[in-house]
Amino acid sequence: TPRVFSGIQPSGGLTLGNYLGALKRFADSQDQGVQSVFCMVDMHAITVWQDPEALRRQTRELTAGFIASGVDPEKSILFNQSQVAEHAQLAWIFNCVARMGWMQRMTQWKDKAGKNTQNASLGLLAYPALMAADILVYHATHVPVGEDQKQHLELTRDIAIKFNNDYGVDFFPVTEPVIEGAATRVMSLRDGSKKMSKSDPSDMSRINLTDDADTIAQKIRKARTDPEPLPDNAEGLAERPEARNLVNIYAALADLTVDQVIAEHAGQQFGTFKPALADLAVAKLEPISTEMKRLTADPAEIDAILRRGSERAREIASPILAKTYEIVGMVR
């Protein structure tokens, strides 16, 4: 049976990129009759320094973001990574399966470690092995993510294949990345060549799920664009990354295809299109931010949801880890 797994780091506030590339698609996928496991990957977050109080607050806020985006904690399993020790336990096995060279080739490692790799945490290098464990400890078959995670998912497949080969078993599934929709790569509002990211130093580069209506409208109004009007077909956006980004965002928020958006707005100036996009963004995001505020006002309830979720997660993960230990030759 198909099983979906995906995770988000509680390493800062949620952005429109996280919403369109991940949360909204998670919510949409719930009704397709598959079991979904969604995780606040707090152990990934600490691969770069996190203030403990901020980590706790961001984990609860992220959980509220999932629920406010439509992920139902009864239908789906919703929990934080550190409460299910099987992730870390399987990650150790995978640390011994994966090769140093594989890890050092990852673009996220190169980007985040910077020039002075000697000073980056060992966890940052090993990150993709923990991510493989997150997925494979549930024998998940489908992983909905944004485009930026594609390389890590290929590594997850490599780890599964090498484990199966090394031990002569057919145990871990070869996972399929699910990267689809109009907004698998939402770009910065200031620079169409960079992805929208919660860690970008400029707040104007992103829309946060906690931004109020005026802030959202202002950020869209000030978003970088070129002076041309919108083209009359999607190919006309090929060399216009900023314009394409705004059209993609519109399409994803409105549940339309890019072609449909272009058909509706062909020939429009950004002076007309941006206010329409701002209205749409506010209409879609304001209910989410209001619901997030309501939910985070009761941290005990959020903690209870995560605890229940982690119990359900462990029911799946625990026998898979036990079987892995047996395959590897650990005496139990």
Q: In this complex, which beta carbon is closest to ligand AQP, that of residue 86 or of residue 134? A: 134
Of positions 11, 80, 81, 205, contacts ligand AQP by CB under 6 A: 11
Q: Which of 24, 75, 195, 323 is catalytic?
A: 195
- For residue 219, indicate whether it is catalytic: no
186 annotated binding-site participant: yes
Q: In this complex, which beta carbon is closest to ligand AQP, that of residue 105 or of residue 323? A: 105
With CB under 6 A as the contact rule, which of the stretches 13-21, 73-81, 90-98, 154-162 interacts with ligand AQP? 13-21
Q: In this complex, which beta carbon is closest to ligand AQP, that of residue 64 or of residue 163? A: 64
- For residue 222, indicate whether it is catalytic: no
Using Cβ positions, the residue closest to ligand AQP within the complex turns out to be 21
17 annotated binding-site participant: yes
Q: In this complex, which beta carbon is closest to ligand AQP, that of residue 58 or of residue 83? A: 58
What is the Cα 121 distance to its own chain's centre? 22
- Shortest Å distance, C-beta 25 to ligand AQP: 9
Of positions 57, 162, 190, 198, contacts ligand AQP by CB under 6 A: 198
- Shortest Å distance, C-beta 331 to ligand AQP: 36
Q: Which two tokens stand for residue 129?
A: 């092995």
Nearest-CA neighbor of 222 among 263, 277, 266? 277
By the rule CB under 6 A, 8 interacts with ligand AQP = yes
Q: Which two tokens stand for residue 276?
A: 């329409």
**Residue list 280-319, contact with ligand AQP (CB under 6 A):** none
Amino acid (one-letter) located at 332 = R
**Residue list 137-196, contact with ligand AQP (CB under 6 A):** 145-146, 148-149, 184-186, 195-196
323 annotated binding-site participant: no
By the rule CB under 6 A, 18 interacts with ligand AQP = yes
By the rule CB under 6 A, 21 interacts with ligand AQP = yes
Q: Which of 24, 110, 112, 284 is catalytic?
A: 112
Dist. CA 69–CA 155, nearest whole Å:
29
Contact criterion met (CB below 8 Å) for 38 and 78:
yes
Contact criterion met (CB below 8 Å) for 258 and 234:
yes
Q: In this complex, which beta carbon is closest to ligand AQP, that of residue 144 or of residue 324? A: 144
By the rule CB under 6 A, 9 interacts with ligand AQP = yes
Question: Per-residue contact track with ligand AQP, 32 to 71, x per CB under 6 A?
Answer: ----------------------------------------
- For residue 198, indicate whether it is catalytic: yes
10 annotated binding-site participant: yes
By the rule CB under 6 A, 22 interacts with ligand AQP = yes
List the strands of the sheet with 142-144, edge to edge. Answer: 77-80, 35-40, 3-8, 142-144, 176-178
Q: In this complex, which beta carbon is closest to ligand AQP, that of residue 38 or of residue 94? A: 38
Residues with active-site annotation? 112, 195, 198
Could you list the residues known to form a binding site, using ranges: 9-11, 17-18, 134, 146-148, 186, 195-199
Provide the binding-site residues for ligand AQP, judged by CB under 6 A: 8-9, 11, 15, 17-18, 21-22, 145-146, 148-149, 184-186, 195-199
